[in-house]
Amino acid sequence: MNSLIRKILCVVMALTIITGIFTGCSSSDTQYFLANDISLKTQLGSLPDKGTVGDIEYSILSKDSYSCNEKDSGYYIDQLEQLDSPYFIVITSGSKTKAGAEISIVDLGMDGTTLQILVKEKDASKGDFVSPYSPCCVLEVNEFPSDIQIHNINGKVFNKIEG
């Protein structure tokens, strides 16, 4: 009886290891997420469109409220020419201007004084339509963070666009 139990356990362990190798270690399924102690999405259950991250008040603007024609992938900071104007962190996918290309903010967090932003990019649908605008998303913040780190769910880093 003991040898039968050992054989069954060995088979179950082998299947578990094989399943882990084929599913858990697949490079195409690798996604980058913020650490749980930093992630607003983990702490709140979902990412609200408005709220606070650290001491910074934020608002995720709708896709229709801002248009981008930036050809480079990355981010830049915009501000209205008014006293106490909020800061707009504009994140763009660059020249992916085919219909259906999108970028959206999926998580936020603070790591010390660094604002961390996680975005998700969607590739364009097949088609001939080309828009003059690049896909972008905008985070409005009431104060400028000491540092900003932006990446997509696959780990691609968005650098500041100097202009």
DSSP 8-class letter at 12 = H
For the chain, the average pLDDT equals 80
Compute the distance between CA of residue 32 and CA of residue 29 in angstroms, rounded to an integer. Answer: 10
User: For the chain, what are the domain ranges?
Assistant: 1-30, 31-158
Q: State the residue for tokens 């932006």.
A: 150
CA proximity to 40, closest of 114, 113, 117 = 117
pLDDT for residue 25:
42
Tens-digit pLDDT profile for residues 119-145 = 998 876 666 556 667 788 999 999 999
Say whether pLDDT at 24 is over 50. Answer: no
Compute the distance between CA of residue 39 and CA of residue 47 in angstroms, rounded to an integer. Answer: 9
pLDDT above 90 coverage of the chain, percent? 39
Handedness of CA 93, 99, 100, 105 (dihedral sign): positive
